Structure 1
Amino acid sequence: MSKKREMQRLIRAYKDETGEREIDMKKVAKWAAGKGWPLPTPQNPLDMLAKQFAEAAREEIRRDDATGRPYRANHSFVTMHGSEQLHLWIDIDEAERGPFLKSAVTRREQMVGDGLQLTLDMMHWNRINPDKEPIDLPMDLTFDIELRLNAPDEDEGAA
């Protein structure tokens, strides 16, 4: 059995033992460790630092000089260097079209994957709950994006 499948089995065992249905994964981890599940080996400090730099880069927001709208300054993309897969970062204000397009396509594919999985999840919930009002959320986000593009800036009106 794979490690993830074994962890999924332990989550079900935790729920069965505690009767909890809305679970805190920290409590599950403490319970599993108490049952002998091995704690993970701490990450390499250099890998941890690189992850912190990636998080900082991902969170940097700038404002467009012409529109005043916020935009994400740094974007990641994956490329191959020989047989090694590299995760590289680019500054949108310095980026060539190719790497930025690669980043944008990857982020869009992530959105599609999330939308597909949410649709499958809603279809399952609706099927097993035929006596309840179905949950049906549209996956075309165009209107939602337009609303947010045209919403007042959060900073406006703040004195």
Structure 2
Amino acid sequence: MSAYANQVKAYVERYQAEHGSDGLIDPHAVAKWAYDNGLHKPTLRTVIDAIAADISQVFREEYRTDRKGQRYRAKHAVREKRGEKTMSLWADIDDVSAPRSHFVRSFAQRRQQIVGDCFQLKTDVDVYNDKSPNEQPIQLILDFTYDVEELQLPFQGRKAA
């Protein structure tokens, strides 16, 4: 864990000690408290990173509808390393100047994120089940074939207008 992550963990623990804990943590409340108490002073880089994160979030949330009525994500990111810096580069799916290779990489990276999420979810369910031997085990199905097919049903047989 990085020094920064350790610093954040320390002030989260201090916040919980001062405010009590019901097991739920509101990151915004902790952030305001940390800022108000001088525990977290944003640098110009922190501010720029926050603005860039907001821009990326806006990109992530931009959807459009195609002629068949399918809602699709407009902008897609590729994470890549340039020198010592890892960055996200975004492209619009409707921008004819955006290279196909960008979307191939983006879709592959998103698929890997989904696989990683499924792996972590499976691990978390297994750990929960192991820690709860007197409970009915939570079942987890990771085959999404039928789920995706069901979501596509409304668009089957539609012709582009």
Q: What is the TM-score when the length of structure 1 is the normalising length?
A: 0.73
Pick closer, same or farther for the CA change 1:88–1:143 going to 2, 3 Å.
same
Residues of 2 paired with 1:3 and 1:48: CA distance? 16
Pick closer, same or farther for the CA change 1:150–1:15 going to 2, 3 Å.
farther
Greater RCO structure (CA 8 Å; 6+ sep):
2
Pick closer, same or farther for the CA change 1:20–1:30 going to 2, 3 Å.
farther
Query: Is this contact kept in 2: 1:15–1:21, CA < 8 A?
Result: no
After superposition, the C-alpha distances for 1:9-64 in whole angstroms (9 at most, x for unaligned) are 66567279725223333444566668x67114155455444433332222221211
Match of 2:65 in 1: 63
Pick closer, same or farther for the CA change 1:19–1:113 going to 2, 3 Å.
same
How many residues end up aligned between the 2 structures? 150
Q: CA deviation at 1:91?
A: 1.6
Match of 2:159 in 1: none
Q: CA deviation at 1:118?
A: 0.6
Unaligned runs of 5+ in 2: 156-161
Q: CA deviation at 1:106?
A: 0.6
Residues of 2 paired with 1:141 and 1:9: CA distance? 39
Residues 100-111 of structure 1 correspond to what in structure 2 (within 5 A)? 100-111=103-114
Q: CA deviation at 1:151?
A: 5.0
* Cα RMSD, aligned residues only: 3.1
1:25 aligns with 2:27: yes
Q: What is the TM-score when the length of structure 2 is the normalising length?
A: 0.72
